[in-house]
Amino acid sequence: MIIGELPDLEDTQAGKELIAVGEKRGEQRGEERGEERGKKLGEQRGELNGLRNAILFLLQANAVSISEEMRQQIVSLDYNRAVQLLPLVAKWNSVEPLQKWLAENRLS
């Protein structure tokens, strides 16, 4: 038999079996990676929400009254800004420093 006359691999039983094994492995790896990414993303979101809630809690504990607009700005902070703001809020006992910080660190 001449090489040009050989059937395509996907047309043979062995080829079909190899393809099925490869597809199954690919699906398993994809699922594992997706689960890993989802878990990591969930952890990051949880940490960010915790930071935001800690900021709001400290403001309340320090009797710093804020407007709904300011609260919305705080719950919209990204991770880096929330990390920057948290230790500052622990020291503040009035709304003015927070207003200034929020104005200077507005999300673009």
What's the rounded Cα separation, in Å, for the pair 46 and 77?
13
Among residues 37, 106, 25, 38, the alpha carbon closest in space to that of 69 is found at 106
* Distances, alpha carbon 81 to alpha carbons 55, 59, 60, in Å: 11, 16, 19
pLDDT digits (tens, 9 = 90+) for 12-38: 777 777 777 777 787 888 787 878 888
pTM for this model (two decimals):
0.68
Domain layout of the chain by residue ranges: 12-104
pLDDT digits (tens, 9 = 90+) for 31-85: 878 788 888 888 888 899 999 999 999 999 989 999 999 999 999 999 999 999 9
